[in-house]
């Protein structure tokens, strides 16, 4: 029917409810990362509990990868990938892809480092995407 269906959001916050969550270990400063490292949120990497904003980030990551053909923070090593999630901005889309600036803005907002800077809900993000089509 020509419609696009996203099947994998890596790890949604609902999946974390059954996991033991105790944050970073004081002795080592480590934290377990569940799911796909390329879509794991900065707050999870800092040892904070995932939230609905984490799901927005995962959707933004999936959208970026669908548009660019690669994850937003793909690096040579896992530690470089973690650093990129925490500190880097995603690379600009290739101009040849002709991705509208308004769509780029939605994706970049979903990938904001701070959860408060992302869309406040999935519905708000869906509305922003719907408005691109109208």
CATH of the domain at 33: 1.10.510.10
Asked if the structure places residue 3 within a domain, the reply is no
Asked if the structure places residue 4 within a domain, the reply is no
Is residue 32 pLDDT above 70, yes or no? Answer: no
Asked if the structure places residue 7 within a domain, the reply is no
Q: pTM for the full model?
A: 0.77
Q: How many domains does the chain have?
A: 1
pLDDT (0 to 100) of residue 8:
54
Is residue 55 pLDDT above 70, yes or no? Answer: yes
Asked if the structure places residue 1 within a domain, the reply is no
Range of the domain at 26: 13-133
Is residue 38 pLDDT above 80, yes or no? Answer: no
Confidence of residue 122 (pLDDT cuts 50, 70, 90): very high
Distant-in-sequence contacts of 38-43, Cβ < 8 A, 24+ apart: 38/10, 38/65, 38/71, 38/72, 38/73, 38/74, 38/81, 39/9, 39/10, 39/11, 39/71, 40/10, 40/11, 40/85, 41/85, 41/115, 42/85, 42/86, 42/113, 42/114, 43/115
pLDDT (0 to 100) of residue 36:
73
Confidence of residue 64 (pLDDT cuts 50, 70, 90): very high
pLDDT (0 to 100) of residue 45:
84
Asked if the structure places residue 5 within a domain, the reply is no
Asked if the structure places residue 40 within a domain, the reply is yes
The arithmetic mean of pLDDT across residues 24-36, rounded, is: 56
Asked if the structure places residue 2 within a domain, the reply is no
């Amino acid at each position: 029917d020509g419609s696009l269906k996203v099947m994998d959001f890596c790890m949604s916050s609902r999946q974390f409810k059954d996991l033991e969550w105790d944050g970073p270990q004081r002795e080592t400063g480590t934290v377990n990362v569940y799911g796909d490292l390329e879509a794991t949120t900065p707050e999870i990497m800092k040892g904070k509990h995932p939230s609905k904003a984490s799901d927005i980030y995962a959707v933004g990551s999936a959208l970026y990868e669908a548009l660019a053909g690669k994850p937003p923070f793909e690096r040579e090593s896992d530690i470089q990938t973690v650093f990129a999630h925490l500190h880097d901005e995603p690379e600009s889309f290739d101009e040849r892809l002709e991705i509208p600036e308004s769509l780029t803005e939605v994706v970049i907002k979903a990938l904001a480092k701070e959860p408060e800077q992302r869309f406040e809900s999935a519905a708000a993000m869906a509305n922003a995407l719907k408005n691109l089509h109208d």
